[in-house]
Amino acid sequence: MPEIDEKPLLVLVDGSNYVFRAFYAIRDLSNSKGFPTNAIYGFTTMLMKLRRDFNPQYLAIAFDLKGPTFRHEVFESYKAHRKPVPDSLLPQIPAIKEIVRAFSIPILEQQGTEADDVIGTLARRYAEEGLRVIIVSGDKDLMQLVTDDIIMVDTMKDKTYDKAAVKERFGVEPEKIPEILGIMGDTSDNIPGIPGVGPKGALALIEEFGTVDEVIENVEKIMNGRVKKAVAEFADQARLSRRLAEIRIDVDIDFDLEKARCDAPDRERLKQLFKEYEFSLLLQDLKLDDAALTGNYRSILSQEEMTALLSELARAREFSFDILLTGDEVMRAGILGLSFCWKEGEACYIPLHHDYEGASGQLKEEEVLADLQPLLADERIIKHSHDLKSQLVVLARKGIQLRQAGVDTMVAAYLLNPAQRNLDLADVLREQLNRQITGNSELTGRGAKALPRTGIAIEKTMDYACQRVHAVFSLFEVMAEKIRRDELEHLLHNVEMPLVFVLADMEKKGVLLDLGLFRQLADEMTQLLSLSEERIYRLAGGKFNINSPKQLQTVLFEDLGLARGRKTKGGYSTDVDVLMQLAKSHELPAEILAYRSLAKLKCTYIDALPLLVNPETGRIHTSYNQTATATGRLSSSNPNLQNIPIRTMEGKRIRQAFIAPEGWEIVSADYSQIELRVLAHLSRDGALTEAFAVGEDIHSRTAADVFGVFPEMVSGEMRRQAKVINFGILYGMSAFGLAKELGVPQKQAQAYIDGYFRRYEGVRRYLDGILEQARRDGFVTTLLKRRRYLPELANGNPLIRQFAERMAINTPIQGTAADLIKVAMLNIAGRLRARGLSAAMIMQVHDELVLETPADEKAEVMALVKEEMEGVIELIVPLKVDIGSGKNWDEAHS
């Protein structure tokens, strides 16, 4: 941040420049309704930081309006090469302007005038009137406006340009920048300049002669013959270019400086907007939340207070509880303290391990847990919590079992809106009751400045902990009513809440790894990568940095002359899609893809997994995310065990390192084509249900039908293509997407889709019906009534609307499959427990369940698992499970 003198400060922001920079700086951000928010979020954070850092007296933001300016009138091709505004950015621009207005900041835009000229005019006007002016932009053209009283700041690069910095950048004073651009041109604005004269040549000419006009007048004095000829030939073009590059400072614009005074923002409007776009952190940063939750909160520091609390809890019909940890990993962290709320506004905190100078004496953990154990196990008392699974894992580590769970407010919030991204308790409370509690980052701080939790004052932690349990107690009944309203009671109480306990058991159990094999795999992978490097260098004709996109571009597109694909900010794309296309005509791109795949496996799994082994258990303990996907599927993190490749040799080798203990075996049970079977059930299509009923290979059957051949004539390639078509239909794939996937013309892909629907007319009717129902109701449901809301079906942006249509098609199918395996997991866990078996589920990978079983229980366990998975629910087609066993995961899955 530059030093500011005593003069009043006016900040002028190049809004259009920052909109685009924010859009490209943050990718793939949208709210739960599917509305893109990356540019909105980036621009808003920039604006908030700008207000904090500069604290200006006056602030205004200029935007370009669509339409020609005087520059287009004098040069038709001005900015003609610029691409249209991306589809996902277009709807964000009005939203950005709405946020600017909510900050009480005037928007400057004028038809026929560029934002640069508006900024230039106002900057010079108010600098002359005695104000200090800061122009906020990343556009080099605006540097020509810099004077002793005007500086330019690029906040995204944290770079300040005064007169000295501008001269260092261009080699000339700010006022000479239009002269330089007049000679060298400017590709970003399509300003032609003098062909063949670059930055160095332009600088030399301006240093020698002073201006474009003087260069032209003294053309005969130019010593370089080529440059002399170019100047003579393109003199008019140079004058035109200089005019195009010069920012006007005389625009007729009606502007009242007082309206730009930095007043307080419209807090209510900002709150509405931030909630709509789900910017929960920004709500906290601006303190825009509604009234804070308060109550009668206290800490329990003596045995007398503890005895009184136990008496209160024992008399309660229900209470909410929370366990604060000393760290983030539930399988490693200790207990910092526990909090309880047994009636509205009454809550307490039991600190256990606060460790700082002056900390009050605290009760002993062993004694507190022993006192609480009977209460937590008492089935007469209902216990509510937020993220109950984490609490269960911590309690299980301490040998404590919790019974009679009520509502997990995180799970309930997820069921009410599965697309909601932020399910932290503070976000749920704000969404449901418009109340505020302290967030975790407010308690500890953020990033490098974050404090260890044990070092935070008991009094401060007490407020945080008590607010949390108070929030859960205030929420559970409200949310239970909404669950009843949306007919989600069965899903919550009979599926998701019992599943919390099953997943907690799986997380605590963990998975055993063969660390010796991992070391061997690391050596093997290092050798494979070395061989791949050698092949790459040989094919490229020399060494280069394989991981450098810039160097790879040079090798592919300049040295080898391969066809360039999609243009990016850094040149031409070398992503997977581009390399796969190029691999059809050259070996090198294929080898690059192989190298990347090996490197990712080594980094993500072979090197990383052994480091995650818990020193207490000797196992890795993934976290199963029950509330992360909009379809209801479980996901896995820290580490993610659901992305290990199945079919590649390297993936199989990694799975071989997931082992059973001595005397035990791994059992893998995998649903066969469950989503296609669900589609058959939901659509009631006669041909599809018949194929499953008689046990036909569905992909071969589809290939025969779509390609019009006898079943015995179906080749392996035809079956592969039919498989892509079958699953493409599930995911609402268009002809364009199918053509890309199969590598065939779009017309041919459309013919395949048409052929599919001629054969499976019931599927077509079902999919059409789903879209019609989704547009009417605004949501789709699974077989167990899980909902997914899709308001973006009415979005004016065709890309967003088409994405929503694909989700409307896929969610009932994929979501039903997810529901079925969840119910199967519950049934299997119940039967294992009822039979007193030692076998346990240790992993769930989408349609696959993995168990660890003693060898002498294997036959019984395999029969039980297969029976429960295939009989989980009665469909009009049979469910089929492929099951196997072995000493490791790969053997069991083979």
DSSP for 728-768 reads HHHTT--HHHHHHHHTS-HHHHHHHHHHHHHH-HHHHHHHH
Q: What average pLDDT does this structure show over 385-406?
A: 95
**42, 148: one domain:** yes
Q: Which of 210-219, 327-336, 693-702 has the highest mean pLDDT?
A: 327-336
CA distance 418 to 789: 8
Sign of the torsion formed by the C-alpha atoms of 37, 41, 47 and 48: positive
Alpha-helix residue ranges (DSSP H) falling in 328-457: 365-377, 388-397, 409-416, 425-433, 440-444
The confidence band for 851, taking pLDDT boundaries of 50, 70 and 90, is very high
Q: What is the DSSP string of 253-302?
A: ----GGGGB-----HHHHHHHHHHHT-HHHHHHTT---SBP--EEEE--S
Of the pLDDT bands very low, low, confident and very high (cuts 50, 70, 90), residue 81 is low
* Contact criterion met (CB below 8 Å) for 48 and 94: no
**What is the pLDDT at residue 607?**
93
For residue 742, count CB atoms less than 10 angstroms from its CB and return exposed for 0-12, middle for 13-18, buried for 19 or more: middle
Most confident by average pLDDT, 54-68, 653-667, 738-752:
653-667
Domains of the chain: total:
4
Nearest-angstrom CA–CA distance, 749 and 731? 15
* 3-state SS assignment for residue 112: coil
Residue 773's pLDDT band (boundaries 50, 70, 90)?
very high
Q: How far apart are CA 571 and CA 553, in angstroms?
A: 8
Element (H, E) at 476: helix 458-485
The arrangement of strands across the sheet holding 619-620 comes to 619-620, 511-513, 658-659
Is the pLDDT score of 249 beyond 90? no
Helix axes 409-416, 458-485, angle to 10 degrees: 40
Instruction: Verify that 426 and 471 share a domain, yes or no.
Output: yes
Pairing label, strands 664-671, 779-781: unpaired
Cα separation values, 42 from 115, 153, 270, Å: 20, 17, 15
Q: What is the mean pLDDT of residues 89-103?
A: 90
Q: Are residues 393 and 452 in the same domain?
A: yes
Comparing CA positions, the residue from 96, 137, 90, 97 lying closest to residue 118 is: 137
**Of the candidates 620, 635, 662, which is a domain's last residue?**
620
Tokens read off for 675: 């989503």
Three-class SS state of 111: coil
Q: Is 851 left (phi over 0), alpha (psi -120 to 50) or beta?
A: beta
Cis bond leading into 84, ω under 30°? no
**CATH of residue 759:** 1.10.150.20
Residues 303 and 437 in one domain: yes
Is 503 contained in some domain?
no
Higher local confidence (pLDDT), 445 or 814 = 814
DSSP state of 10: E
C-alpha separations of 685 from 109, 680, 725, 760 in Å: 57, 6, 17, 6
Q: List strands edge to edge, sheet with 150-154.
A: 107-108, 58-62, 9-14, 132-136, 150-154, 159-161
Whether the CB-CB separation of 550 and 570 falls below 8 Å is answered with: yes
Q: The domain spanning residue 567 has which CATH number? A: 1.20.1060.10
User: Which run of H or E residues covers position 349?
Assistant: strand 346-351
Residue 872 has phi, psi (to 5 degrees) of -60, -35
CATH of the domain at 475: 3.30.420.10
Residues 324 and 389 in one domain: yes
pLDDT at 391 over 90: yes
Q: Are 470 and 372 contained in the same domain?
A: yes
Give pLDDT, residue 6: 63
Q: What is the pLDDT of residues 619-666, one digit of tens each?
A: 999 999 999 888 899 999 989 988 888 878 888 999 999 999 999 999
Locate tokens 């709320």: which residue? 341
- Pairing mode of beta strands 658-659, 107-108: unpaired
Q: Which of 224-233, 605-614, 809-818 bottoms out in mean pLDDT, i.e. has the lowest? A: 224-233
Q: Are residues 548 and 476 in the same domain?
A: no
Question: Residue 490 and residue 631: Cα distance in Å, rounded?
Answer: 17
Q: Is the pLDDT of residue 5 over 60?
A: no
Strands 150-154 and 58-62: unpaired
Q: Which helix (H) or strand (E) holds 338?
A: strand 335-343
Where do we find the tokens 């480091």? 611
In a shared domain, residues 301 and 433: yes
Q: Give the mean model confidence (pLDDT) for residues 681-709.
A: 88
Give the separation between CA 294 and CA 285, rounded to whole angstroms: 20
pLDDT classification of 563: cutoffs 50, 70, 90: confident
What is the pLDDT averaged over residues 183-205?
Answer: 77
User: Are 296 and 418 found together in one domain?
Assistant: yes
Residue 196 lies in a domain: no
Per the structure, the complete domain to which residue 23 belongs is given by 9-167+247-260
In terms of domains, do 704 and 786 share one?
A: yes
Residue 42 lies in a domain: yes
Which of 89, 92, 66 lies closest to 79, judged by CA?
66
Rounded to the nearest integer, the mean pLDDT of the chain is 88
